[in-house]
Every structure is written in structure tokens, then in C-alpha cells.
Amino acid sequence: MSAKILSGKVFAQQIKEAAVAKAKEIEAQYGVKPGLAVVLVGDDPASQVYVRNKDKACAQVGLHSEVVNLPATTTREELLATIDRLNADPSIHGLLVQLPLPEGLRGCEKEVINRIDPAKDVDGFHPINVGRLVTGEPGLVSCTPAGCLRMLELAGIPIDGKRAVVVGRSNIVGKPMASLLMSRNATVTVCHSHTRDLAAITREADILVAAIGKPKFITADMVKPGATVIDVGINRVAPHKLVGDVDFDAVSEVAGAITPVPGGVGLLTVAMLMANVVQAAEQQLAHK
């Protein structure tokens, strides 16, 4: 059996088209474009690529975008003052600080996230937004898991009553992914590095989400025939070669549907960020 390929490009395009339409409505109604500010501290090359992609996506979708580049020598106080300024800027509806922070600021990541106005927290990392997700209140949800859920919905893959297994328990992907799947009435199991007999659990999954950070960790024997497999991993195994957390070639012979790497979930993340900026703008402008 050969799995259906869930192309990130196709679903990201659909998510972005919806954001374009909503952004136009907002501009017509309020006379302002939804705006995103991305703060990048230091010169990490991978982060520079991510930030450039976010800026480009804003231009594509018709959003206002501001990239604030700060030197690696920026102090905690300077970074917090930048966040305060952007929190107060009415042209900015979404604000994120690209992570990881440079070494000197690594200990400040929690404080930095907590300083962002929860209404502008388009990463969905602020504890207020995490709490809203867990309690089922409307809020901003972390882009990667939100994009994965939107893709499942757009692809017409049933979730209600299904067994979902999330491998990985990070705050950015694993935990919010589990909450989202639960909110759609899946029966969810979260596995991690201390899980015993992992393969027996993953084999029960109708929907398997791999967010581990280990190249080709999920092998064909760990997948139930016909399952939907979502690969959140992006592992650089050679200067120009990326692989996911799933052994794509072997697993695509067993799965019913599978996301590729590259060209899968990574594209959904940026598309969902655009959706979150539009959602944040709509909320802020409606309650002004």
C-alpha cells in the first residue's frame, strides 16, 4: 500500500488564502492592515531563515510586517523594553520573539514570553493562551500544532473517537497538539523518552504525530496499516539534507496518509502564523 501524501504546500496555500480574505475584510472595516512584529536577537543563520520566511509570508498575505533585528549583545532590559514598545504599538497586532535567544539571554526565555501581551502572542506560548487552550476557551494556539489540526480538518481525516498518539511532550508542539486532538474528541496518548514499549502504543494510533527531534525515529513496524502519520521533525543530517522524525520511505508503504519532510508541516507553521495574526487583529480591533 502506498500512502496518500499530505502536501504542506497545498494546505498552507488554503490556510493563507483564508487569511488573505480575512485581512481584506479587516482592512475594509477598520482601515488598518493586520501587523506582525518579529524580534530577532543575534545572528543565528537558521533563525534568520525562519524570520525571513515569516516576513515574506506577510507580504504574500497582505499583512504589515516589521522585523526588529537586535545584536547578540542586547541586554535583558533592552529586550524587555523592545517588547513593551511593540505591545503598545497599535499598528502591531501580533508579536513574537524568535527562539532560541543567544546564549547570554537563554535564561530569560520564560520572562520574555511572559512579557508579550497575550492578545498579541501569535506564537501561543504565553501561559494565558496555553491555559485557554487546555480549558477550551478561545485564544491564540501554537502555530505548528494548530496547522497540523487545520490540515487534518481540511483533508477530511476523521478525529472524533479516533486513537491519537503524540510522540514528544514539548510545550511548543507535543502538549498543545494533545490538547487540540482532545478538544476534537480523539482519545489521546502522549509518549516521551521514558515511555515503555513505545511501538506497542504507536501501533494503536489512527493518527500518529511525531515530534521527537530524532531522524527517522518512527519506523514502519511502529505504524498501524492505514494510519495518518504527521511528521513534525526537521532534522539536518547533511549540509543540504533534511529528514523528518519518520522513516518516510518505509512508513509510506504502511500508512494511509503521511506528511513529507521537507514540504510538510514546516509550511503549515508559517501559514498558521498568518492566520493567528489576522485572528489577533480581528480581536483587538473589535474590542477597541
| Beta-bridge mates of residue 166 | 190, 209
Residue type for 23, please? A
Q: Which of 40, 143, 234, 280 binds ligand GUN (CB under 6 A)?
A: 143
CB-nearer residue toward ligand GUN: 269 or 284: 269
Residue 283: active-site member: no
Q: Which stretch binds ligand GUN (CB under 6 A): 14-22, 92-100, 102-110, 180-188?
A: 92-100
The residue annotated as part of the active site, out of 123, 206, 231, 247, is 123
Q: What is the DSSP letter of 218?
A: B
Distant-in-sequence, close-in-space partners of 49: CB < 8 Å, separation ≥ 6: none
Q: Is 183 helix (H, G, I), strand (E, B) or coil?
A: helix
- Closest CB to ligand GUN among residues 32, 108: 108
Which residue number, 64 or 126, has a Cβ lying nearer to ligand GUN? 126
Q: How many CB atoms lie within 10 A of CB 108?
A: 16
Q: Which range in 61-69, 91-99, 150-158, 198-206 contacts ligand GUN by CB under 6 A?
A: 91-99
Determine, following the binding rule CB under 6 A, whether residue 98 of this chain makes contact with ligand GUN.
Answer: yes
* Using rule CB under 6 A, residue 99 touches ligand GUN: yes
Query: Which region, left, alpha or beta, applies to residue 62 given φ > 0 means left and ψ of -120 to 50 means alpha?
Result: left
| Burial category of 27 from C-beta neighbours within 10 Å (exposed 0-12, middle 13-18, buried 19 and up) | middle
In angstroms, what is the minimal distance from the CB of 4 to ligand GUN? 27
**Under rule CB under 6 A, residue 20 binds ligand GUN:** no
Of 40, 63, 96, 186, the residue at the interface with ligand GUN (CB under 6 A) is 96
Q: Which of 98, 120, 224, 284 is flagged as catalytic?
A: 98
Question: Which residue, 123 or 231, is less far from ligand GUN as judged by CB?
Answer: 123
In angstroms, rounded to a whole number, what is the distance separating the alpha carbons of residues 35 and 23?
Answer: 10
Query: Exposed, middle or buried: residue 180 (CB in 10 Å: 0-12, 13-18, 19+)?
Result: buried
Contacts with ligand GUN by CB under 6 A: the residue count is: 6
| Binders in 100-129 for ligand GUN, by CB under 6 A | 123
| Least distance to ligand GUN, CB of residue 288, Å | 26
Q: What's the number of CA atoms in the CB half-sphere (13 Å) around residue 205? A: 33
Minimum CB separation from ligand GUN for residue 99, in Å? 4
Binding segment toward ligand GUN, per CB under 6 A, in 3-11, 75-83, 90-98, 129-137: 90-98
The catalytic position among 16, 22, 33, 54 is: 54
Q: How far is the CB of 160 from ligand GUN (least distance, A)?
A: 28
Cell numbers for 139: 485564544
Is 54 tagged catalytic?
yes
- For the chain, the 3-state helix, strand and coil shares in percent, each to the nearest 5, are 45, 15, 35
Residue 39, classed as helix, strand or coil, is strand
Q: Which residues pair with 189 in a beta bridge?
A: 165
Question: Least CB distance from residue 19 to ligand GUN, whole Å?
Answer: 17
8, three cell numbers: 504542506
Interaction residues for ligand GUN, span 153-182 (CB under 6 A): none
Which of helix, strand or coil describes residue 90? coil
**Which sequence positions are flagged as catalytic?**
54, 98, 123
Residues at the contact surface with ligand GUN, assessed by CB under 6 A: 96-99, 123, 143
